[in-house]
Amino acid sequence: MTHPTSSDWQDRYAGSLMNTFGPPKATLVRGQGAHVWDADGKEYVDLLGGIAVNALGHNHPALVEAVTGQLSTLGHISNFFASGPQVELAEKLLGLLGADGKVFFTNSGAEANEAAFKLTRRTGRTHVVAAEGGFHGRTMGALALTSKEAYRTPFEPLPGDVTFVPYGDAEALAAAVTDETAAVLLEPIQGEAGVVLPPDGYLAAAREIATQHGALLWFDEVQTGIGRTGRWFAHQGVTPDIVTLAKGLAGGYPIGAMIGVGEAGDLFEPGNHGTTFGGNPVACAAALAVLSTIENDSLLEHVTVLGQKLRDGLAADPRVTEVRGEGLLIGLDLVAEKSADVFASALAHGFIINNPTPSRIRLAPPLVLTDDDVAAFLAAWPTILDEAMGEQS
């Protein structure tokens, strides 16, 4: 029996799926740890992790056991009923956050941000201040909070009363927030922009500004949360009113969460919001397995150490002008707008990376990435740049 090749699958993909993402780069058929294989048998080190989703990599036994075990017991119930995994996960997330509050489960990060956007309207205000370069999803509400013109323009007018300010500029933030502002929305580290860190004190300043005007402070931790930066949450020493989570939460099983801290957790009343699949017992069991594995395998410490090693190695090449990030959320700038070529060269050498802008590379590998995986990538890195920059000998 002849198995379809990557080319076969891509032809069928082009003929049957909407072209919302452009042509797929490969057709992947299986994975193990931080490695995946395509339909032609080629192996890759996955340094993107489904864009920060595959926290435990691929085919992790704890995740497989949690999903299959829960599905064989109780797969789905409506929101007229409660389940143990749903309650345990909510309690666990509040414990990790170290705050009292309430959790609303969704199916994705965009949906978590949609829920939070609606929650802010319960303040009686409509104005939201968000940051330039921020990314919060592509549904209509989440898109209204996302500044990138290429995403917004085809769908305008968008809902909301949103003001965008430069990320990291506390003075600009203070000037934009008024007594009519419902919420200030920030990513503790901007992911889609190419891993951009704010200056020291910025998040604390945002807290102070929001409090002065009676506005909610909302941190979008969809990409940065659940161990990605070597900590459970990227924000530290600042208490937000709302936190949204998704990507790594269930290691690839669809789930999102919107946490309302303190009084913000009680803004929604029965009938204000809902979702069919949010809080699904299987998704919640998967998330509990991810959280317990991160704890039991000391992955936060592993992420911190390995991330530093990876950043140091990447920065050693003079064609890299800056390396940023925390843990295993890493962005780097190139001397030339060659990120697409670097992506293609890396893929040819068996490494999956991401090029969010013409001159930036983003890495968000599984938290179970190994020292050997990092060594292999750093060994290939000069050659990848040689080929991408047209400097082969």
How would residue 159 be classed by pLDDT, with cut points 50, 70 and 90? confident
How would residue 72 be classed by pLDDT, with cut points 50, 70 and 90? very high
Q: In the chain, which residues fall in CATH 3.90.1150.10?
A: 6-59+298-389
Q: What is the pLDDT of residue 301?
A: 98
In the set 38, 46, 220, 373, the catalytic residue is 220
In the predicted model, is pLDDT for residue 62 greater than 50?
yes
Q: What is the pLDDT of residue 392?
A: 56
88 assigned binding-site residue: no
Q: In the chain, which residues fall in CATH 3.40.640.10?
A: 74-297
In the set 104, 117, 135, 377, the catalytic residue is 135
Quick one: 6-59+298-389 is in which CATH superfamily? Aspartate Aminotransferase, domain 1 (3.90.1150.10)
Query: Contacts by 330-334 with C-beta closer than 8 Å and gap 24+?
Result: 330/195, 330/362, 330/363, 330/364, 331/194, 331/195, 331/196, 331/356, 331/360, 331/361, 331/362, 331/363, 332/360, 332/361, 333/194, 333/359, 333/360, 334/359, 334/360, 334/361
Instruction: Kindly list the distances between the CA atom of residue 238 and the CA atoms of 203, 206, 207, 312, in Å, as whole numbers in the listed order.
Output: 7, 9, 7, 29
Instruction: Kindly list the distances between the CA atom of residue 237 and the CA atoms of 97, 220, 233, in Å, as whole numbers in the listed order.
Output: 11, 16, 11
How would residue 3 be classed by pLDDT, with cut points 50, 70 and 90? confident
How would residue 2 be classed by pLDDT, with cut points 50, 70 and 90? confident
> Which strands, in side-by-side order, build the sheet including 28-32?
28-32, 35-38, 43-46, 351-352
In the set 247, 338, 343, 377, the catalytic residue is 247
Overall average pLDDT of the 350-367 stretch: 97
81 assigned binding-site residue: no
For the chain, where are the alpha helices, taking DSSP H only?
A: 6-16, 49-52, 61-71, 84-97, 109-121, 140-144, 149-152, 170-176, 202-212, 281-296, 299-315, 339-348, 371-389
In the predicted model, is pLDDT for residue 81 greater than 90?
yes
Q: What is the pLDDT of residue 393?
A: 46
- Encode pLDDT of 205-237 as tens digits: 999 999 999 999 999 999 999 999 999 999 989
Cα(219)–Cα(217) distance, rounded to whole angstroms?
7
Q: Is the pTM for the entire model greater than 0.85?
A: yes
In the predicted model, is pLDDT for residue 287 greater than 90?
yes
Q: Clarify whether 135 is annotated catalytic.
A: yes
- Amino acid letter at 226? I
For 98-197, where are the alpha helices, taking DSSP H only?
A: 109-121, 140-144, 149-152, 170-176
- Encode pLDDT of 24-43 as tens digits: 999 999 999 999 999 999 99
Residues with Cβ within 8 Å of residue 197, at least 6 apart in sequence: 189, 324, 325, 326
In the predicted model, is pLDDT for residue 286 greater than 90?
yes
Q: What is the pLDDT of residue 297?
A: 98
3-state secondary structure 255-285: CEEEEEEHHHHHCCCCCCCCCCCCCCHHHHH
Instruction: For the chain, give the percent of residues with pLDDT over 90.
Output: 95
Q: Clarify whether 220 is annotated catalytic.
A: yes
Q: What is the pLDDT of residue 371?
A: 98
Instruction: Kindly list the distances between the CA atom of residue 62 and the CA atoms of 45, 66, 136, 300, in Å, as whole numbers in the listed order.
Output: 21, 6, 30, 17
221 assigned binding-site residue: yes
Cα(225)–Cα(243) distance, rounded to whole angstroms?
9
Instruction: Kindly list the distances between the CA atom of residue 391 and the CA atoms of 332, 345, 387, in Å, as whole numbers in the listed order.
Output: 20, 12, 6
Q: Which residues pair with 58 in a beta bridge?
A: 33
Overall average pLDDT of the 115-139 stretch: 97
109 assigned binding-site residue: yes
Overall average pLDDT of the 160-183 stretch: 97
184 assigned binding-site residue: no
Q: What is the pLDDT of residue 1?
A: 65
220 assigned binding-site residue: yes
Q: Clarify whether 155 is annotated catalytic.
A: no
CB 289 within 8 A of CB 65: yes
CATH assignment of 74-297? 3.40.640.10
27 assigned binding-site residue: no
Q: What is the pLDDT of residue 388?
A: 96
In the predicted model, is pLDDT for residue 242 greater than 50?
yes
